[in-house]
Amino acid sequence: MGKKRDVWQGTLALMVLKTLETLGPMHGYGVARRIEQTSGDRLLLNYGTLYPALLKLEQEGYIASEWGVSENHRKAKFYKLTRTGHARLKQEAREWEETAGIIARFLTPEKEGI
């Protein structure tokens, strides 16, 4: 397996929102593990980055949290996507798809006559 990479700036919020949309409420450790799994273990998620991002998303109203008990019977904060978070996820996904399309134009050889 290749070297693990850091999460790209500006992508963590999108990955958190998409993870919560897909899997429903999760605690922070579960979110981190799922992001790493989804990347095929190619991303290295710094927990010192994740928790401030979760706090920021909560302050912006995109996620909400409540205390609960984890699978190993420990107290944990569970995060869930809000209605505003669903809308933000759609917007961010569109923006990233557009950005990826623009970058792809630079990486794809130009065809003659186009």
Look up the CATH number of the domain holding residue 82: 1.10.10.10
Structural domain count of the chain: 1
Does residue 43 belong to any structural domain of this protein? yes
Does residue 86 belong to any structural domain of this protein? yes
List the domain range (segments joined by +) for residue 42.
5-107
Does residue 113 belong to any structural domain of this protein? no
Give residue-wise pLDDT tens across range 89-101.
Answer: 999 999 999 999 9
Whole-model pTM: value is: 0.85
Q: Is the pLDDT of residue 19 over 60?
A: yes
Average confidence score pLDDT of the chain: 90
Nearest to 50 by CA among 61, 35, 64: 35
Q: Rounded to an integer, what distance in angstroms lies between the CA atom of residue 49 and that of residue 12?
A: 9
The pLDDT score that the predictor gives to residue 114 is: 54
Q: Rounded to an integer, what distance in angstroms lies between the CA atom of residue 34 and that of residue 15?
A: 10
